[in-house]
Amino acid sequence: MRTIKNILPFLSLAFLAACNLEKDVEIDLPEYNSQPVVECYLEPGKPFRLLLTRSYGFFDPLGLDSTFLDKTLLSGAVVTITYNGQVDTLFNQLSAEIEPLKLFNYTGLNTVPADPGVDYTLNITMPDGKTISGQTTMLPQIPIDSVVVEWGPAQDTFARVLTYITDDLSQDNYFRRLLNYGSLDSIPEQDFLANDRAATTEQIAFGTAYELVPDDTVFNTVFHITKAYYDYFESVQLAVFGNQNPFAQPSPIKSNVQGTANPLGIFTCLVYDRQMTVIQR
């Protein structure tokens, strides 16, 4: 018993000492150099449009007030898109699309042709003379073959939706699958990338869980995307995950734009098929 009594004071002292082991450490982070960010999606039948902004550092105050757009949108650039021997100029003016909500600060007068195989070249000259360029090719649409509603076996209370497309196995194809309930502005229930590298049949199916009831509205969208957009979108997802996880490795953005302006971003076609389904028994 005496031995235990002698040990207890030492344990108490050790515990008290351990409580003072914290130490504040200051780390000098390098100054973040903002970069121009390009997002230009060529959507057949819609005007040539582009969003040109600047990037922020992780610890930069965003200041979401009335001046945020003025500080974020980059103005005064000369933007052109060349295709089929034609040069279209995108003018520095705001435009928007309501559903789903999209914002652009450079807009052209002509609409994007739907012809597959056409090559497009983007050229941007910034006010300081630095340049940005990018290239992409219009892809063919891969249509949705059918959208099938299946009711669950348990008392037929809930239904699921299966969306079928036909894939060309003679070439590598890349897809983005988007699923919205209620409206296109809703937070997507599904938003993921897919490819046909492991496909053994021409038919590809995208499904939902048994979670739908009568009168639910379902929007199925299947994008046929370029490899460059596949890599870009995947890298953005990994970067977001890395910012949310202190133990994750930093993930660089895989852009397909380049130039003396040291840009980030994507220049690609946006070809998709979309079907709306109202769930009925």
CA 240 to the chain's CA centroid: 10
Along the chain (281 residues), what's the average pLDDT of each consecutive run of 10 residues? 49 51 66 91 97 85 75 96 98 91 95 97 98 98 97 84 95 96 94 89 94 96 98 93 71 94 98 97 84
Tokens for 273? 């098929």
**CA pair distance 195, 202, nearest whole angstrom:** 12
The 10 Å CB-count burial string (b at 16+, else e) for 217-241 is: ebbbbbbbbbebbbbbbeebebbee
CB-CB contact of 85 with 104 (8 Å):
no
**CA pair distance 271, 134, nearest whole angstrom:** 18
**Residue 174, CA distances (Å) to 14, 128, 134, 135, 167 in order:** 60, 37, 20, 18, 10
Supply the pLDDT for residue 3.
Answer: 47
Report the run of H or E that residue 137 belongs to, with start and end.
strand 131-137
Supply the pLDDT for residue 247.
Answer: 67
Supply the pLDDT for residue 198.
Answer: 77
Supply the pLDDT for residue 33.
Answer: 83
In this structure, CATH architecture of domain 36-139+256-270: Sandwich (2.60)
**CA pair distance 125, 10, nearest whole angstrom:** 72
Report the run of H or E that residue 269 belongs to, with start and end.
strand 264-269
